[in-house]
A and B are shown apart, each in its own frame.
Chain A
Amino acid sequence: RKEVEQDPGPFNVPEGATVAFNCTYSNSASQSFFWYRQDCRKEPKLLMSVYSSGNEDGRFTAQLNRASQYISLLIRDSKLSDSATYLCVVWVGTASKLTFGTGTRLQVTL
């Protein structure tokens, strides 16, 4: 079983739609959680951290459920520029280890 699992997609949505991505992780010692964005053939960049209380950054909302070892990302009012691959990333601080999911590809269309 992969340490971090994501649906690879692609998710094809029209502009303005709301789309949600999910991610599960297997290591219960995981301490910190993030969503990274990666454009085609480019480097990953941090999109947002994920907290148990849930957090929002503009059109993006992230949620963490530690009991279910589940992370989500909600994108509202999708823009063409949101088209990218979204990587679920988990940090195990005691091991100084960052584990990446394989990513979920989003394509926003007109």
Chain B
Amino acid sequence: DADVTQTPRNRITKTGKRIMLECSQTKGHDRMYWYRQDPGLGLRLIYYSFDVKDINKGEISDGYSVSRQAQAKFSLSLESAIPNQTALYFCATSDLAPTSLDSSSYNEQFFGPGTRLTVL
């Protein structure tokens, strides 16, 4: 079974609808992230959570909200979907950040398979 799972994998919805994307992980990591990927723009961070009680905005959080229900679960919501939120959404996890600045101690982020969202 995959360590990081996302549901749904594909979703088509209409403008104004509320959508929730879910992410679950079995890696036991504390840190979880939501990214979106658009052609020509690369992956951009929406929200991240360092533990269940810690939620932080990323660079493009407007129009999104998140919930960290448990260490293993991190959900992304679009309260009122709009067409420019059409994108590929990835959840990622990582272990605690290194205390050293040594690049070799960076903790890898592991990505889920992605959710392709289309807002009509």
**Are B42's CB and A101's CB within 8 A?**
yes
A61 close to B (CB within 8 Å): no
Within 8 A of B (CB), among A24-66: 31-34, 41-46, 49-51
B103 in contact (CB, < 8 A): yes
**Contact A32 to B106, CB < 8 A, known contacts A96-B97, A101-B42:** yes
Please tell me if the beta carbons of B106 and A43 are within 8 angstroms of each other in the complex. no
B114 adjacent to A43 (CB under 8 Å): yes
Cα distance A31–B116 in the bound complex, in angstroms? 32
State whether the Cβ of A86 lies closer than 8 Å to any Cβ in chain B.
no
The reply to whether A32 and B103 form a contact with Cβ atoms under 8 Å apart is yes
**Contact assessment for B103 and A33 in the assembled complex, using a CB-CB cutoff below 8 Å:** yes
Would A31 and B108 count as touching, CB distance under 8 A?
no
Residue of A nearest to B44 (CB): A100
The number of residues on chain B lying at the interface, defined by a beta carbon within 8 Å of a beta carbon of chain A, is 22
Q: Can you name the residue of chain A whose Cβ is closest to the Cβ of B6?
A: A43
Q: Name the interface size band of chain A.
A: 20 to 34
B90 near A: Cβ within 8 Å? yes
**How many interface contacts (CB-CB < 8 Å) are there between A and B?**
51
| B101 located at the interface, meaning its Cβ lies under 8 Å from any Cβ of chain A in the complex | yes
Chain B contacts for A51, CB-based, 8 A: 103-104
Q: Are A31 and B114 in contact (CB under 8 A)?
A: no
Q: Taking the complex as formed, is A73 at the interface, i.e. its CB lies under 8 A from any CB of chain B?
A: no
Contact yes or no, B40 A41, CB < 8 A: no
Check: A75 CB closer than 8 A to any chain B CB: no
- From the candidates B42, B88, B108, B114, name the one contacting A103 in the complex (CB within 8 A): B42
Take A31-B101, A44-B43, A100-B43 as given contacts and tell me if A91 and B106 are in contact as well, using a CB distance cutoff of 8 Å. yes
Cβ < 8 Å to A, chain B residues 96-120: 97-98, 101, 103-104, 106, 108-109, 111-114, 116
B residues contacting A by CB (< 8 A) are 40-45, 48, 88, 90, 97-98, 101, 103-104, 106, 108-109, 111-114, 116
- Selected A-B contacts with CB under 8 Å, 29 pairs: A8-B40, A32-B103, A32-B106, A33-B103, A41-B88, A41-B114, A41-B116, A42-B113, A43-B90, A43-B112, A44-B90, A45-B111, A49-B104, A49-B106, A51-B103, A87-B42, A87-B43, A93-B97, A93-B101, A93-B106, A96-B48, A97-B45, A98-B109, A100-B42, A100-B43, A100-B44, A101-B42, A102-B40, A102-B42
